[in-house]
Structure 1
Amino acid sequence: MTWVEQEKTALVATFRSSDAEAPTLCEGWNVRRLLAHLIQREQRPAGVLGDVISRKPPGQEPGLTKLTGTAMTPAGYQELIDRFSRDTPRWSPMSWAAEKLNLVEYVIHHEDIRRAGTEPAEPRDLPEDEQLAIRRQLGTLAKLGLRKAPVGVRLATPQGESREIKPGDGVTLTGDPVELALWVSGRRDAAHVNVTGDPGAVNAFQTWARAK
């Protein structure tokens, strides 16, 4: 199995063991709605576009509401999980480019479930090679999320790997790849990441991050 296949299998298991009404780290989304998002993203691109055009706030997207409306009973929720667990249609880029498009997506949303609520789960002990695969895909996500940072930014792991994301003097974000993925995607309170650098740069960076 590829890493994305293994992560999807683990995510499906977490969906099956989770309360559909439980909160997630995604504002306005419970576990059921997060599941619907993943199905819509992979199987119903027109629904994704419709929700974007509707400009409804999180929790009120019409496409996701339609999907979740079919899964309000325990049996309906399990059927929705079954739908997600099936192979993605071959016409979808989420099928033939799954490793590049879905690995980090699955990892982040998996932690959206695990780390939400009053008793968030501890980080998972993922295989080193999977962590490496996640780290290799962080560049685009990090550059998008940090492009407007007021100082230079570098990502680093506790093992010593380092990558410049925004040129210039500034700050270093240090954490395992999953933690860095959570941080740059906006899940900062849930991410185990240290921000270091010149005090002035750290202060400017943290002020900017809190305002986002």
Structure 2
Amino acid sequence: MSHTAREERRALCDTLVATGPGAPTLCEGWLTRDLAAHLVLRERRPDAAAGVLLPALKGRTNRIRDEFAQLDWPVLVDLVRNGPPAWMPTAIPRVDGLVNTGEFFVHHEDVLRAAPGWGAADRREVSDALQEDLWAALARTGRMMFRRSPVGVVLVADGYGRRAVKRPPDPSGDPAKAHGTVVLRGLPGELFLYGFNRKHVAQVVADGEPADAWHLAQTRLGV
């Protein structure tokens, strides 16, 4: 997996160079400069990265991210490209693959798919190796991604397999809250984007009762 993480890191950095620091992203309120600063923060300031998940620490995290964002653009992109310092666990290739393959894929698509006029026909070609690693990542994180879903969820990727990530509610519970299961079909990368709450750009087909599909579409997903 370390190979695909490195390749995706390099591809993202090439895209950042091409777009510049002021391009839109799918991360609300972030331009490419902010996204690059976030990636540097998580790899070089783990002491400040906790605010990504803990609201009480968000202010400090944002302040340090903004400091990185003020760096000259080539310097900031090179920090992303060069990866973490040697003392970080993600400097170990296997850990890098486990932690960063999905992270860099999603954020790369955050930049590509935020481009004005982007459509399904503009979707880039994703290698089989990256698709396979993203499918493996869904096996590890799928249940967490879809934990808030009020309906059962099954992921189906032709040529890769089928994976249940959320059971439907117990029918013996409140009948008003009873829902069935939605089957999401697409390539592993598209299913990964859907699970990371990029539902509006993920090229995924949802099969199930319309009401169940609607409830899933309205639910905030992600880790």
User: TM-score by structure 1 length?
Assistant: 0.86
Distance 1:161 1:50 in 2: 35
Q: Does 1:138 align with 2:133?
A: no
In structure 1, the residue matched to 2:90 is 94
- CA contact under 8 A between 1:24 and 1:113: conserved in structure 2? yes
Instruction: Determine which structure has greater relative contact order: mean sequence separation of CA pairs < 8 Å that are 6+ residues apart, divided by chain length.
Output: 2
In structure 2, the residue matched to 1:73 is none
In structure 1, the residue matched to 2:16 is 15
1:67-86 deviations in whole A, cap 9, x for unaligned? 1122xxxxx10011112211
In structure 1, the residue matched to 2:173 is none
- CA contact under 8 A between 2:148 and 2:220: conserved in structure 1? no
CA deviation after TM superposition for structure 1 residue 177, in Å: 1.1
Tell me the amino acid that sits aligned with residue 130 of structure 2. E
Gaps of 5+ in 1: 71-75
In structure 1, the residue matched to 2:193 is 182
Distance 1:160 1:201 in 2: 25
CA deviation after TM superposition for structure 1 residue 209, in Å: 5.3
Secondary structure, in 3 states, of the residue corresponding to 1:180? helix
What value does the CA root-mean-square deviation take over the aligned residues? 2.3
Distance 1:182 1:50 in 2: 22
1:6-42 deviations in whole A, cap 9, x for unaligned? 1111111111111211110001110011001111111
Q: Write out aligned runs for 1:55-204 (5 A).
A: 55-56=58-59, 61-70=62-71, 76-96=72-92, 97-120=95-118, 122-159=122-159, 161-168=161-168, 169-204=180-215
Gaps of 5+ in 2: 169-179
Secondary structure, in 3 states, of the residue corresponding to 1:190? coil
CA deviation after TM superposition for structure 1 residue 124, in Å: 1.6
- In the alignment of these two chains, the number of paired residues is 203
Distance 1:200 1:82 in 2: 47
Tell me the amino acid that sits aligned with residue 109 of structure 1. H
1:23-69 deviations in whole A, cap 9, x for unaligned? 1000111001100111111111122236754434xxx9211111112
Tell me the amino acid that sits aligned with residue 70 of structure 2. G
Distance 2:58 2:46 in 1: 16
Distance 1:45 1:208 in 2: 29
1:70-117 deviations in whole A, cap 9, x for unaligned? 2xxxxx100111122114212212222100000000000000000003
